[in-house]
Structure formats: C-alpha cells, structure tokens
C-alpha cells in the first residue's frame, strides 16, 4: 500500500455513493487516502489485514462506514489505537437507525467517534481536523473553509 494518512473502509459497494462525499473532502484538502471495501461480518480476516497494512503505510485516522448491524467501526477500533470515525449508512429496512446505534453505542474503553447517518462529509472533515493538530497549513485551510461557509450563509440574505 502506498503512503496514506486516512483509510476509508466501507462494508459494501452499495455504501459507495454516500462515501464519495468523504473522498471529495479529502481530495479538496489534498489528504492522501485509500478506500477499500471490507466487511466486519463478510470479510473479517481481510478487514484486520487492511488495518495492519494501512498502519504500515502511515495511516493516522480510520473512517469506517457500514449499514444495518454496523460493526465495522467497532471492529477496527478493537485492532488499532488510532482514531476511528464511524459513519452509519442508511440501508436496509431501518434506514440507518440500526447502523447508528450499532456504531455509536460502543462499550467503555472502545471509543468510536460517530457522525450522523450518511454523515460522510463530516467524517472526512473530522479526520482533517485530527490531522490538522500537527499541520498548521491544514488548520489554515479548515479556518478558511469555516469562513467560506459563513459567507455563503450570509450571502443568502
């Protein structure tokens, strides 16, 4: 695996349309990342291998998206001490309510930072904020983004 700072994992290719929003944010901030399809239930061994490979490649933050009984972020958390951000995906009969609870309700000692249902953009921005702790240029870019958001709102008047 080439050098990366963020690994995006998602449980299925059906999650891809949502997670493209996370990729767009990381592209906008020029963050090197890799996206892989890995499932906590369907490909458990390959999921653990991806975590090890990503850490060897310099990964600092994991973004894990899954729907239904969404255990991907929790499993990744169990295998790394890097920050893990969970994205509950709206899929299946409960449209993300199940994934939200499965992702956010981690046992004490196993933290997953969970964004809202389909919150791929916020997941990526949180990853950038984590990386910005040791990167003044990224911090400046984030501040500029906040200013742009405020200006856009005010321009709506």
Residues that bind ligand RP5 (CB under 6 A): 11-12, 14-15, 39, 66-68, 89, 91
Closest separation between CB of residue 156 and ligand RP5, Å?
A: 34
In the bound state with ligand RP5, the residue whose beta carbon lies nearer, of 112 and 138, is: 112
Is the distance from CB of 61 to CB of 52 less than 8 angstroms? Answer: no
Report d(CA 60, CA 102) in Å as an integer. Answer: 23
Residue 84 bridge partners (DSSP): 62
In the bound state with ligand RP5, the residue whose beta carbon lies nearer, of 86 and 128, is: 86
Closest separation between CB of residue 44 and ligand RP5, Å?
A: 12
Report d(CA 63, CA 83) in Å as an integer. Answer: 9
Is the distance from CB of 65 to CB of 36 less than 8 angstroms? Answer: no
Closest separation between CB of residue 14 and ligand RP5, Å?
A: 3
In the bound state with ligand RP5, the residue whose beta carbon lies nearer, of 18 and 25, is: 18
Closest separation between CB of residue 154 and ligand RP5, Å?
A: 37
DSSP-derived secondary structure for 11-60: S-GGGHHHHHHHHHHHHHTT--EEEEE--TTT-HHHHHHHHHHHHHTT--
In the bound state with ligand RP5, the residue whose beta carbon lies nearer, of 96 and 125, is: 96
């Amino acid at each position: 695996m080439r050098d990366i700072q963020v690994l995006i994992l998602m449980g299925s290719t059906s999650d891809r349309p949502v997670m493209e929003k996370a990729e767009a944010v990381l592209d906008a901030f020029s963050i090197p990342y890799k996206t892989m399809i890995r499932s906590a239930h369907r490909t458990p061994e390959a999921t653990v291998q991806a975590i090890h490979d990503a850490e060897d490649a310099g990964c600092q933050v994991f973004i894990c998206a899954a729907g239904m009984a969404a255990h991907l972020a929790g499993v990744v958390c169990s295998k790394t001490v890097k920050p893990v951000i969970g994205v509950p995906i709206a899929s299946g009969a409960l449209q993300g309510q199940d994934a939200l609870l499965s992702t956010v309700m981690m046992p004490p000692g196993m933290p997953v930072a969970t964004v809202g249902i389909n919150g791929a953009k916020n997941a990526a921005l949180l990853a950038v904020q984590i990386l910005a702790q040791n990167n003044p240029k990224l911090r400046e870019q984030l501040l500029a983004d906040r200013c742009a958001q405020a200006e856009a709102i005010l321009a709506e008047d």
